Chain A
Amino acid sequence: MIGKSTLQSTALRRHAPFWFSIFSGIAVWEIAGRSVSPAFMVPFSTTIARLWQLTVSGNFIPQLVDSGKLFFAGFGLALIIGMPLGLLLARIRILRVGVEPYIMLLYATPMVALIPFILSMMGFGFAPKLLVVFLFSVFPVLYNTVEGARSIKPELIEVAKSFRSSEWALWREVMLPYTLPYTMTGVRQAIGRALVGMIAAEFFLSATGLGQLIMSASQNFDTGGVFASILVIGLLGVGLTRLGLIIEQHFARWRQ
């Protein structure tokens, strides 16, 4: 017989390694931080205290919002363009053959390398930063959408044709639902890349948001501020990726 307490203890046992690992990590950070100069590293407790200070003094939230705007604008643009373009490329062979080499090239290129070029072309406004985040995140979405849409069984397209589906209905009823789980895999990858793009843009183009916060904190020997910003970006990345995974699983629930 399995009692309630047994169930609770198995749940505890399952999660125990996770929490043990988290607390050990914090402990190691705390000890390491206390044993080196604060010019290099600060302990966990100081980082949290500094984060609290920055939040209360009103320096942190506006920068976070600023970065958030950049992130969601660039990432959103990547979705809006990457997904339909991916479906289009999968459906129209001639277009795919023509465009695919460029996608492969750009997907493999470290986007940071393009920043000086973007700077010289577009200057320091919001638009060039948006472009950087977009370029960082669009290719995983595009690439996964194309690959997903191409892997659709020809028999399903045949079924649609046999039932006299219109081209629009073929997209809505067959191509899109089949491809969504693949696209979402790309979206998850894109989240991490968009965060990198966001910080890179804020570093190398006009300094704003969390990027600026990190840079100015670093220049002022405010190691606590640097660590606080990095911690928030990391947690943001983990949180958004988890959210992406949940959405992906929702759209992929029909796959065994």
Chain B
Amino acid sequence: MATSAVRSAPASQVAKGEPRIRVRGLGKRYGTLEVFRNIDFDVGEREIVAIVGPSGCGKTTLLRCIDGLLPHDAGEIRVGDERVTEPIAGVAMVFQHFGLFPWKTVFENVAYGLRMAGAPKSEIERRVPEFIKLVGLSGFESAFPYQMSGGMQQRCGLARALAVEPNVLLMDEPFAAVDAQTREILQFELLHIWEQRPTAMIFVTHSIEEAVLLGHRVIVLKGRPSSIHETITIDLPNPRTRDTLREPRFAELREQVWGTLMREAREAEFHLER
């Protein structure tokens, strides 16, 4: 009965807003190895786009190109009106292995982005505790990363990215290095935080389930060199909650993405789920 109620709220009602990120004809090669080609997609200013694909398909490379950390060889990336050739303001990345500075405390790690952006001290003192609280790390301000679990470290990584108040969040398999329970908790907390401060978000993941749960659209990268094989609109109701996982539609969409990947998976040796 809950199902019919949710089905009546189609995803088309989601206000994605204007495109924040525009990727056109993007190509990347390392020497003679072509990683991907002809990548075209947009991300709305209040939209989460998940990118899935087999290991080595270049999804992390794609994300690094969008962040301006890696140069691209063809096409262009625009964030707002700016053409990306190097990291630009307003874009923040959350890293797979957290990327915390081990010699800095939680407070100092979260303050890092703000300091690099030249924020005055008073603003740092005010905003850092706010974001530490947002990710649930209050009380751990002076802890060093080695003293915390993987989940707590990634909360810190998330707070560091959020603290610069970006309008684009790039997530590079952020929950791949934490255990299953923590991963689930963090997924819903991320959704909760996103509801409070929606941004354009690209979420790269190995996990089909995670992609379907978080994404408003799921892009499937495939092939060598890889390209966008399919873009699947996830017409699940928002906000996504634990109940979403029990939706029959969730299972359908997960199977659809799975099927898209599996057609090729039979020929290649890779794991779809970690």
| Chain A contact residues, CB within 8 Å of chain B | 155-156, 158-166, 169, 173-174, 177-178, 253-256
Contact = CB atoms under 8 A, between A and B. Distances in A.
A162 B101 contact: no
A5 B95 CA distance: 52
A156 B99 contact: yes
Given A155-B99, A158-B95, A163-B87, 12 more contacts: A155-B97, A156-B99, A156-B101, A159-B93, A163-B92, A163-B113, A163-B116, A174-B101, A178-B103, A254-B104, A254-B146, A255-B146
B117 interface: yes
Contact of B89 (A159, A164, A174, A255): A164
Interface string B74-112: 000000000000011100110101010111100000001
Contacts of B145: 254
A162 B103 contact: no
A82 B102 CA distance: 24
Nearest to A253: B144
Contact of A162 (B93, B97, B115, B144): B93
B116 A164 contact: yes
B67 interface: yes
User: Which of A155, A159, A161, A174 has most B Cβ within 10 Å?
Assistant: A159
B43 interface: no
Contacts, number: 54
Contacts of B115: 173
A163 B104 CA distance: 16
A162 B67 contact: yes
A158 B99 contact: yes
Contacts of B99: 155-156, 158-159
Contact of A256 (B92, B104, B116, B146): B146
- Name the 8 nearest CB pairs between A and B, nearest first: A256-B146, A159-B99, A254-B103, A163-B116, A177-B103, A163-B113, A162-B93, A254-B144
Given A159-B95, A164-B116, A254 B102 contact: yes
Grouping DSSP codes into helix (H, G, I), strand (E, B) and loop, the A interface class, with mixed when no group exceeds half, is helix
Nearest to A176: B103
A173 B146 contact: no
27 contacts: A155-B95, A155-B97, A155-B99, A158-B64, A158-B95, A159-B95, A159-B99, A159-B101, A162-B69, A162-B93, A163-B87, A163-B112, A163-B116, A163-B117, A164-B88, A166-B116, A173-B101, A173-B112, A173-B115, A174-B101, A177-B101, A177-B104, A178-B103, A254-B144, A254-B145, A255-B146, A256-B146
A15 B19 CA distance: 70
A162 B112 contact: no
Contact of B116 (A169, A178, A253, A255): A169
A142 B103 CA distance: 22
Contacts of B64: 158
Interface in B153-209: 164
B103 A164 contact: no
Interface in B17-56: none
Contacts of A254: 102-104, 144-146
Contacts of B146: 254-256
Nearest to B146: A256
User: Which of A155, A162, A166, A253 has most B Cβ within 10 Å?
Assistant: A162
A6 to B, nearest CB: 30
Given A155-B95, A158-B69, A165 B103 contact: no
Interface in B137-160: 144-146
A152 to B, nearest CB: 10
A9 B88 CA distance: 62
A157 to B, nearest CB: 10
Nearest to A165: B116
A165 B115 CA distance: 9
Contacts of A162: 67, 69, 87, 92-93
A16 B145 CA distance: 38
A165 B145 CA distance: 21
Given A163-B112, A163-B164, A255 B102 contact: yes
Contacts of B92: 162-163
A158 to B, nearest CB: 6
Contacts of A159: 93, 95, 99, 101
A156 B145 CA distance: 14
B91 to A, nearest CB: 8
